[in-house]
């Protein structure tokens, strides 16, 4: 198989592959067309889950428990769209992702308060998005501050918001006002985050379709479209480098597919592969070729050190008769291989020995989306949360074989959990965050916090720390003692040491800790 000329489909919003009568010449690299993706909905991705930490005043014990719990160094995400009629509540989705899967990042295509609140305390990284229509208004600094104050700040303590994405595929929009606003908007949002001391953990970026690249013959000769390179992408890349944010790309081998290149797209090609005559490098899959074309364009601008993240990729499990490669088996094969390959550390021919953050599109099939049948069938799950197929994202694959996936995780029986466990707050945890933990835990269905209300048996001592210790542990115990249910935005810690027997804690928490003991089994 040889590399021919890459032809870009001029309409970046075209919904999918064209019928045979309208099809254009396609290239083995699979970047001759750019996918359609709506600007409403929600997206999920997987990033690093922090070790759960919660209240204990003995530093050595804190260190030991942290070491036992460990950390997760993933990088898997999935797009969580909401354009369906039978989708489960966001709270059920958040619990399922946190407890039952390897997903550690959720990308939202808006900043829906209900969804942000649902992911509070899960530890999952959440990317929120400014809708394209709002981007031009962010050129006004006052509006940017207000947007952050209303859409990010209220949720940032309890929910692990890690990025604000300015629009979706803005750089391939045929809208001059929007194009010229993208970089100033990103700068203003960053400035607003700095003013609220949130810039250390919340980065600002934006997503790009492959339509941002121009026609090229080889991945090594990839370059940005004329007119976009110096006016928009150079200052954008400068901003990403300065702030440590990644260049995020939506890469879909499916949309550049022909019958001849199906094996190349599905990672089936042997080491002989496809040769890039410009560099002499060999490609064994289409996704690597697409990412290296993006990297070449970035490096050509002098920003080769800027990281690349795959903000979207996926494959439909059903489609029209004329759509090449659709089907659950192919979807499983592509997504499983993409996740495994990008997380393996092998890298790509031009970017060896590195892992990539990857977000699968999408979490659910969405029956309200327009376009061909494939657009409604990119999901890993049906709307009732039964799996379309297993792409290797389950924490316990054996638990889902031939079984529907429950919309709400069932707590494991206490007898199966081994040693007794408690959820306590980390030493020095911010009181405002602890109060938010109380409000969150006590606001959940089935959680009764009457004991820490005035007159309750555990009301004394009347301290935020004492009440938080009760509420956080009650939530942890009631939900089956999953480690993630004691994260609380990294203010909680699971311990097997009896808190009531630790002198410092006993003196500090007094009777509230004794109340905790009653709900530790």
| Catalytic residue numbers, as ranges | 169, 312
Q: Quote the tokens at residue 341.
A: 């390959």
| Planar angle of CA 106, 110, 115, nearest 5 degrees | 55
Contact (CB, 8 A) for 42 and 106 = yes
SS (H, E, C) 453-501: CCCCCCCCCCCHHHHHHHHHHHHHHHCCCCHHHHCCCCCEEEECCCHHH
The dihedral built from the CA positions of residue 196, 202, 204 and 209, taken in this order, carries a sign that is: negative
Q: How many Cα atoms are found within 13 Å in the side-chain-facing hemisphere of 129?
A: 26
Classified as helix, coil or strand, 150 is helix
User: For residue 248, what are the β-bridge partners?
Assistant: 207, 309
- Angstrom distance (rounded) from CA 322 to CA 471: 56
What are the residues whose beta carbons fall under 8 Å from the beta carbon of 394, sequence distance 6 or more? 100, 101, 102, 400
Q: Give the Cβ contact number of residue 60 at 10 Å.
A: 8
What are the residues whose beta carbons fall under 8 Å from the beta carbon of 73, sequence distance 6 or more? 48
- Compute the 3-state secondary structure of the chain and give helix, strand, coil in percent, each to the nearest 5: 40, 15, 50
SS (H, E, C) 419-462: CCCEEEECCCCCHHHHHHHHHHHHCCCCCCCHHHCCCCCCCCCC
Q: Packing angle between helix 464-478 and helix 431-442, nearest 10 degrees?
A: 40
What are the residues whose beta carbons fall under 8 Å from the beta carbon of 217, sequence distance 6 or more? 3, 4, 5, 6, 277, 278
What is the torsion angle, in degrees rounded to the nearest 10, for the CA atoms of residue 393, residue 398, residue 404 and residue 410? -90
Contact (CB, 8 A) for 243 and 204 = yes
The dihedral built from the CA positions of residue 360, 364, 368 and 371, taken in this order, carries a sign that is: positive
Contact (CB, 8 A) for 14 and 33 = yes
Contact (CB, 8 A) for 9 and 24 = yes
């Amino acid at each position: 198989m040889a590399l021919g000329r890459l032809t870009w489909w001029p309409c970046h919003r075209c919904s999918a592959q064209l019928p045979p009568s309208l099809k254009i010449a396609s290239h083995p690299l699979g970047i001759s067309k750019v996918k359609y993706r709506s600007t409403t909905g929600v997206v999920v991705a997987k990033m690093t889950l922090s070790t759960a930490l919660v209240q204990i005043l003995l530093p050595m014990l804190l260190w030991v428990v942290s070491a036992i719990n460990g950390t997760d160094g993933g990088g898997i995400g999935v797009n969580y769209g909401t354009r369906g009629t039978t989708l489960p509540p966001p709270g059920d989705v958040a619990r399922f992702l946190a407890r039952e899967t390897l997903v550690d990042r959720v990308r939202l295509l808006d900043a829906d308060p209900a969804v942000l609140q649902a992911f509070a305390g899960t530890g999952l990284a959440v990317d929120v998005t400014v809708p394209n229509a709002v981007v031009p208004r962010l050129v006004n600094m006052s509006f940017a501050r207000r947007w952050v104050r209303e859409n990010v700040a209220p949720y940032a303590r309890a929910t692990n918001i890690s990025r604000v994405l300015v629009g979706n595929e803005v750089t391939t929009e045929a809208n001059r006002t929007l194009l010229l606003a993208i970089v100033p908007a990103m700068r203003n949002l960053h400035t607003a985050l700095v003013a609220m001391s949130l810039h250390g953990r919340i980065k600002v970026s934006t997503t790009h379709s492959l339509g941002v690249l121009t026609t090229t013959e080889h991945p090594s000769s990839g370059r940005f479209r004329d007119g976009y390179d110096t006016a928009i992408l150079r200052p954008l890349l400068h901003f990403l480098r300065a702030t440590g944010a990644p260049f995020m790309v939506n890469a879909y081998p499916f949309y550049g597919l022909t019958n001849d290149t199906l094996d190349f797209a599905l990672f089936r090609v042997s080491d002989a592969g496809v040769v890039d005559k410009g560099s002499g490098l060999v490609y064994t899959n289409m996704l690597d070729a697409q990412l290296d074309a993006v990297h070449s364009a970035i490096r050509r601008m002098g920003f080769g050190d800027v990281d690349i993240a795959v903000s979207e990729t996926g494959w439909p499990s059903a489609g029209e008769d004329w759509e090449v490669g659709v089907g659950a088996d192919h979807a499983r094969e592509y997504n499983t291989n993409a996740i495994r390959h990008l997380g393996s550390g092998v890298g790509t021919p031009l970017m060896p020995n590195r892992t990539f953050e990857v977000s699968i599109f999408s979490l659910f099939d969405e029956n309200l989306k327009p376009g061909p049948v494939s657009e409604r069938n990119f999901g890993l799950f049906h709307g009732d949360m039964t799996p379309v197929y297993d792409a290797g994202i389950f924490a316990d694959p054996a638990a889902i074989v031939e079984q529907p996936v429950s919309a709400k995780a069932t707590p494991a029986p206490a007898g199966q959990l081994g040693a007794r466990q408690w959820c306590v707050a980390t030493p020095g945890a911010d009181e405002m965050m602890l109060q938010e933990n109380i409000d969150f835990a006590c606001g959940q269905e089935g959680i009764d916090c009457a004991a820490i209300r005035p007159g309750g048996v555990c009301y004394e001592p009347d301290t935020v720390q004492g009440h938080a210790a009760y509420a956080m542990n009650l939530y942890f115990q009631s939900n089956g003692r999953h480690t993630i249910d004691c994260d609380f935005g990294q203010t909680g810690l699971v311990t097997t040491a009896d808190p009531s027997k630790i002198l410092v804690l006993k003196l500090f928490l007094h009777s509230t800790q004794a109340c905790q003991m009653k709900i530790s089994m």
